[in-house]
Chain A
């Protein structure tokens, strides 16, 4: 086997973006997306998640589903850092249109292994044009 036939492991990694545009609970999309993200996390890919349109509602603070008989899956977003899913892009315009600010969102963090395990925020609020750029950089986009 020639040396140049050996593909470095890093070349196997693809950029995956999960697009979330639906509110939680009213439909199953948000929960299904989260399940697929967690399954996909086992495959050591470069994963990002985008929240825009009604998707920003998925990560609002203080969700309490005890009155509607459904599972509150919002705490699971805070576990994403443990699965090395550390890039959660939230579109600023979507927040603005809904009267929301970044303070209304859950605190979601990860420990940066390249920086002495310092705890850092996973949520990155970006403008629409920036989100378009991020989408254009991906190898695979999965939409929910």
Chain B
């Protein structure tokens, strides 16, 4: 399953709830304000490290650039995709859950 998250993890519990419900092997794509969860050194970083690579994590490049977040500021293991990559992820997974 592919999950997309578009809310900041510091303002809403959306990302936390997604992690709590996602299953090993699932993919999570962070978009819009969701991309802040992908940054190094945040209060969320340990939570993501605790997933031990059970999930594939992605962040949408144009949303990173818009917000001034350099790819070098992201946690290890986050893959950056463009809009084409977003479409590929949707196509690769049978179901997409949009966390709002």
A residues apposed to B, CB below 8 Å: 22-27, 53-54, 57, 60-68, 70, 72, 74, 97-100, 104
A64 CA to B33 CA in the complex, in Å?
A: 15
B32 at the interface (CB under 8 A from A): yes
The 8 closest A-B pairs by CB, nearest first: A99-B41, A67-B62, A26-B33, A60-B68, A63-B68, A65-B66, A99-B42, A62-B68
6 pairs of residues in contact across A and B, judged by CB atoms under 8 Å: A23-B11, A54-B33, A63-B67, A64-B66, A66-B65, A98-B36
Say yes or no: B66 contacts A97, CB within 8 Å. Answer: no
B32, A26: Cβ atoms closer than 8 Å: yes
Number of B interface residues in the complex (CB < 8 A): 24
A23-B62 in contact (CB<8A): no
B40 within 8 A of A: yes
Within 8 A of A (CB), among B1-37: 6-8, 10-11, 32-33, 36
A22–B36 CA distance with the chains assembled, in angstroms: 12
CB contact under 8 A between A23 and B8, given known A62-B70, A72-B66 = yes
Complex contacts, A100 vs chain B, CB 8 Å: 41
Residue of B7, B33, B42 touching A98 (CB-CB under 8 A): B42
Name the one of A22, A24, A97 contacting B67, with C-beta atoms under 8 angstroms. Answer: A24
List, in ascending order, chain A residues with CB within 8 A of B63's CB: 25, 67-68
Report the Cα distance A67→B81, complex, angstroms: 12
Name the prevailing secondary structure of the A interface residues: loop
* Binary contact track B60-97/A, C-beta < 8 Å → 1, others 0: 01110111111001000000000000000000000000
* Residue numbers in A under 8 Å from B33 (CB-CB): 23, 25-27, 54
B59 at interface, CB cutoff 8 A? no
Determine if B49 is an interface residue (Cβ-Cβ < 8 Å). no
Taking a contact as CB atoms under 8 Å apart, the answer to whether B45 and A25 are in contact is no
Inter-chain CA distance A99–B46, complex, in Å, is 12
On whether the beta carbons of B11 and A97 are closer than 8 Å, the reply is no
Q: Which residues of A contact B57 (CB under 8 A)?
A: none
Chain B residues with CB under 8 A of A62: 68, 70
